[in-house]
Structure 1
């Protein structure tokens, strides 16, 4: 078992601690000032490899071409601004109405007539569901419900319908089953 530096006997613990701290501080300083034995610097590259002269030449040519095009456009714009403007409106091409207005109107009238015919057919059709029969069936279902109730009808009238629902749910054990 290794107990480290405390395994050695000392005469004075205080001086031993100070000495140990001083040695650690010297060690840290040496670690900060140490120089590496491996050269990690970038290797020397020749000048012709560092500067890509062909790329710079192409870039300069492109900039010169852009400048030339900009100058030509500027000259054209200044010429347009100095010359008198022309009235480009051609009165013969200005139509006052649509060319197929009549055809669209006939199409709209045809669609309206078809819609009216469909509406008449729907209104003349007899319904497939009989609302009177539904009312009779609802009354019959109410009679069946009265016959199978837990409480008679007069108790339902005295209590509110919400009170009856909550009391019947608690009295029958929630969902009507036994525990």
Structure 2
């Protein structure tokens, strides 16, 4: 009994109730499968004229035909020119002429003359400022500044003092050179004396041996 069909509601015959419930369930499932949605989610229809674009293909074909025709005509013209001399004389044998050539040449000559004059003036011009005098004045100024300052940076020498110092240095160098030459002469004299002393001693030894 437990394996028999158990209806939800009480009934007189379980077998008939099972058959009726089964038919009702099948009809319900069939209605579910054939039900239509309230919102249309299907893709929109595709139109051939939007994808194929016959107008564009026609224009492209016409353009290609025009290009092909122009190329054919150009090829015919080129072949005709290659076979013959052509219908147009394109040889330029005339000389190039300028309307303002003389004026430009005159202007160039004028500029060159002016530049030459300016160069001569620059080369012949004498300087108005004497750098040597400026340098001497500045040395004097530094000398006076160091005399009046409490902590002088250094005692710059005037040109006379510089000459005196250079003369002293030159005299010292000459004196050292003179002393060096005298020393060399003394050494050479001592060497000669020693050589003379050695030679008689050798002769004396030879005589004794004989």
TM-score (norm 1): 0.45
Q: Which has the higher contact order (CA 8 A, sep 6+)?
A: 2
Which structure: larger Rg? 2
TM-score (norm 2): 0.40
